[in-house]
Amino acid sequence: MPSPPLDQISDPIHDLARLPARVAAMRAKILEAVESGDIENLRAPLEWNETPPVLGRAGDRGWRRARSFAEAIEALKARSFDGEGREILALLAAIFEQPYAKVTRGPVVTYVWPAFAVRQAPNPPPETRLAMLRCVRFANLTLHNDIGLPIIERLGIGADGVWHYFYSG
């Protein structure tokens, strides 16, 4: 049996002009909601998808897949330290300030923010470590991965503009 294909992960990309148009449009729609300061405004980019994106992992406390866009908003509020979604909006803003990575697995291409969520090396420079901490949920500040780096929130948008996920990992 052949082994599954390995992910091909680009170096961090700073140039937003290199994003496919649909990916750039989804990013812009999410940022528009973030800038409004109201988590309810994330409903518009969520509804651009046919189904809600994955907003957690099966092992996460209290996680379950949102079955509707309304449930997705409620799940984001529940994950937010303040219970209103402001922490989530701040995280999304911080994540999109960072460079992204293009991740290719077979024929599937996903654009992932921040790039350091998928391409980590031990002992990053202080400015990178600070950027990483801006992309960590308050509840996860004391948690670290197997190489001692913080558990970073990540967001993935497919090359077709579909928002696939937003979770810690």
Q: How many CB atoms lie within 10 A of CB 92?
A: 24
Residues in Cβ contact with 96 at an 8 Å cutoff, skipping those fewer than 6 apart: 27, 30, 31, 34, 113, 155
**Alpha-carbon distance 88 to 147, whole Å?**
25
In a domain, 83, yes or no: yes
Whole-prediction pTM: 0.89
Task: Examine residue 38 and state whether it is found in any structural domain, yes or no.
Answer: yes
Residues with Cβ within 8 Å of residue 6, at least 6 apart in sequence: 105
Q: Which residues pair with 105 in a beta bridge?
A: 108
How many domains does the chain contain in total?
A: 1
Q: What is the rounded distance in angstroms from the CA atom of residue 101 to the CA atom of residue 117?
A: 9
pLDDT value of residue 132: 86
78: domain range?
8-168
pLDDT along the chain (169 residues), means of 10: 76 97 98 96 92 76 70 89 92 96 95 91 85 82 73 93 91
Residue 161 domain-assigned?
A: yes
Does any domain span residue 2?
no
